[in-house]
Structure 1
Amino acid sequence: MEETSKPLPPDLPLSRGYWQAAREGRLVVQRCTGCGTLRHYPRLLCTACHDSGVDWVELSRRGAIHSWTVSHHAFHPAFRDELPYALVTVDLEEGVRALGRWNGGELQIGQPVIGHFETDGERAELWFSRCK
């Protein structure tokens, strides 16, 4: 059977800063240069003031589980051998939400977590686990 690689994220100006930092193991999000509102996922305009100016700020990667889902279907063949796996939505300390893979045992709403990136140099996946 032919090995299938996990897909690369598209190289788009809108999200390039996020993926570049992710490959370096850093979690960054956009910050509006007009009003300072953090936004994630990357957007063209600020939802608070509609300004298009943006810079990137690094976050703590700490937060609490807001929700999760368990995937039993591989939406890409490269993930087939990892089934089932959990995806968690995390309320980060800085006030935005992030989605990542789960690597921490039992799940509980409100559970404190910390994120880290696993990278192979080209791809980066955000994983969350229990705070120690």
Structure 2
Amino acid sequence: MTTPPTPTPRGEERLYFDAAAENRLTYQTCDTCGSTVFYLRALCPHCGGESLRLRESTGLGTVYSYTVQYRASHPYFAGETPMTLALVDLDEGFRLLAGLTEADDVAVGTPVEAVFRDSGDLALPYFRPRGHEEDPK
């Protein structure tokens, strides 16, 4: 069996992946300018402020856009194609690219919720239409 591609999280990335391992989706807010910040960083990309507060998302959002990928980006994902990827606007004000489960029921504007799946040593967020039970994989 092929092993999954696994990044080596550093700095703020480590905080994000540690939270994901606990089925929590995190983002930041800037104490200086009040902006929502995602992906996690050391400095606010809006004002350069250093006072970023880690927050936990509800994991609720809507599909902004999506596409279907027919070719696996890595041999590990070959069994998951076709794979639907979406840009999801989270209720807290940030956008995230992630896989969609139960993609037959998805369109632009569909309300979705985060679910987490193990991928090697990491847990990754995916999204499914709200109120659906996830098909275990």
TM-score by length of 2: 0.86
Q: Residue 127 of structure 1 aligns to which amino acid in structure 2?
A: Y
Answer whether contact 1:23 1:121 (CA < 8 A) is retained: no
Unaligned stretches of 5+ residues in structure 1: none
Residues of 1 paired with 2:69 and 2:119: CA distance? 23
Matched, 1:18 2:16: yes
Q: Percent identity?
A: 35
Q: Could you tell me which residue of structure 1 aligns to residue 111 of structure 2?
A: 112
| CA–CA distance in structure 1, aligned partners of residues 29 and 2 of structure 2 | 36
CA drift at 1:33: 3.2
Aligned residues: 130
Distance 1:116 1:12, change over 3 A: same
Show CA shifts across 1:69-97 (max 9, x none). Answer: 11112221111111110011111111111
Shift of 1:121: 7.5
Q: If the length of structure 1 is used for normalisation, what is the TM-score?
A: 0.89
The residue identity in structure 2 corresponding to 1:11 is P
Instruction: Give RMSD over aligned pairs.
Output: 1.7
> 1:23·1:122 contact (CA, 8 Å) conserved in 2?
no
- Equivalent pair of 1:73/1:83 in contact (CA under 8 Å): yes
1-structure distance, mates of 2:119, 2:31: 32
* Runs of at least 5 residues in structure 2 that lack an aligned partner in the other structure: 132-137
Answer yes or no: is the 8 Å Cα contact 1:101–1:125 preserved in 2: no
Kept after mapping to 2: 8 A contact 1:30/1:56:
yes
Cα pair 2:6 2:120 within 8 Å, conserved: no
| Gap change, CA 1:102 and 1:56, over 3 Å in 2 | same
Q: Is the 8 A contact 2:25 2:59 kept in 1?
A: yes
Superposed CA offset, 1:1-26 (max 9, x none) = xx111122322103111100001100
**Matched residues in 2 for 1:130 and 1:101: separation?**
12
